[in-house]
Structure 1
């Protein structure tokens, strides 16, 4: 019985660590988000990936894989640094590319279930 509890605890800890690593990669402070958001060529490549209209390089593919999860959970796995970085990226992206943002929401939140969460994310609020 003790073995089962220890095994369960180990599996849960490993899962949490993997989730933390994924979010640390997603919100990597070494990525210059302004270099992405201010460069139409790079941003267009991200959009093509997000909209299934082109190939997905590693970074856009990672971001794409987390869009719905982040919207649905109000970035529930994020720490404060992640939330602040997401707040910055969302606000700048929505200001620069409102039509692309609408399209992202249509694809990743077609039921409009997470729109309230988006406003929390834009303010950097915890879930």
Structure 2
């Protein structure tokens, strides 16, 4: 019985580690979307055209894996933030959207899964 309990505890710990750190889940995406200067600064970081803040660098470092795994390690809040950001940039800044797609998915291999993700 002790072995089963220990195994379940270990499995729970491993599953908990499978998610990205939720420390930044309280991030206010509206602040970025409503501030052209801030959005441009973040975009430059993501596109390797400018410096990165520590927060945006964390996102930048995890973005390729998140795209490849359909955000499997993202928390629900991170998925919500990412979806809102992508929808807003795609509709209001199509030029920036195209640059980000060209940078992070030049072969178009994530387009189908990403379109599914963006559906309302």
Structure 2-normalised TM-score? 0.78
State the shift of 1:16 in Å: 4.4
State the shift of 1:17 in Å: 3.6
- 1:56-112 CA-partner distances (Å, limit 9, x unpaired): 111111111122222221111234443333222211121122111111111111111
1:109 matches 2:105:
yes
SS in 2 for 1:20: coil
Work out the CA distance in 2 between the residues paired with 1:21 and 1:112. Answer: 25
Picking from 77, 94, 97, the partner of 1:98 is 94
**Matched residues, number:** 115
Note if contact 2:29-2:85 (Cα within 8 Å) is conserved in structure 1. Answer: yes
Q: What is the match of residue 65 of structure 1?
A: 61
Structure 1-normalised TM-score? 0.74
The alignment's C-alpha RMSD in Å is: 2.5
For structure 1, the 5+ residue unaligned runs are 1-5
Label 1:58 to 1:72 Cα distance change in 2 as closer, same or farther (>3 A).
Answer: same
Label 1:21 to 1:80 Cα distance change in 2 as closer, same or farther (>3 A).
Answer: closer
Note if contact 2:20-2:73 (Cα within 8 Å) is conserved in structure 1. Answer: no
For structure 2, the 5+ residue unaligned runs are 1-5
Note if contact 2:42-2:56 (Cα within 8 Å) is conserved in structure 1. Answer: yes
Q: What is the match of residue 3 of structure 1?
A: none
SS in 2 for 1:55: coil
Note if contact 2:20-2:74 (Cα within 8 Å) is conserved in structure 1. Answer: no
Picking from 42, 49, 61, the partner of 1:46 is 42
